[in-house]
Amino acid sequence: KAGVTQTPRYLIKTRGQQVTLSCSPISGHRSVSWYQQTPGQGLQFLFEYFSETQRNKGNFPGRFSGRQFSNSRSEMNVSTLELGDSALYLCASSLAGGVLSYEQYFGPGTRLTVT
């Protein structure tokens, strides 16, 4: 089975711009979660989508948003980029059914640099 894929792998943006990141989950997985990882804050939960609905949300400003499509692919968007948004953005997928639904598998991540 193919793993979780994320595009693009690297991005350089300027302050004030917006960015859209994409994630394709493992085939059959219906839940997609997004995380931000920085050296100082570690791995922080952004949001989770299941069946095109946001099921959970972390403590991030409204500039961070996401969506999920009917094929379970997901996108996250960051508007009005700030220098502090520079991070590794990780997407993880899970089956979202029963106890094992919470075994999440990560994609390779998108490294975002804001200048």
Residues that bind another protein (CB under 8 A): 33, 35, 42-45, 48, 55-56, 58, 88, 90, 92, 99-100, 102-109
**Smaller CB distance to another protein: residue 48 or 85?**
48
Amino acid at 28: G
Backbone φ and ψ for 77, nearest 5 degrees, come out as -125, 140
The least CB distance from residue 103 to another protein, in Å, is 5
The least CB distance from residue 80 to another protein, in Å, is 26
Q: Return the DSSP state at 99.
A: G
Structural contact between residues 54 and 46, judged by C-beta atoms closer than 8 angstroms? no
Structural contact between residues 57 and 39, judged by C-beta atoms closer than 8 angstroms? no
**Smaller CB distance to another protein: residue 23 or 78?**
23
Query: What are 92's two structure tokens?
Result: 């993880």
Q: How far apart are CA 97 and CA 4, in angstroms?
A: 18
The least CB distance from residue 76 to another protein, in Å, is 15
The least CB distance from residue 102 to another protein, in Å, is 5
**Smaller CB distance to another protein: residue 15 or 57?**
57
**Smaller CB distance to another protein: residue 10 or 14?**
10
Nearest Cα to 53, choosing from 38, 39, 42, 69?
69
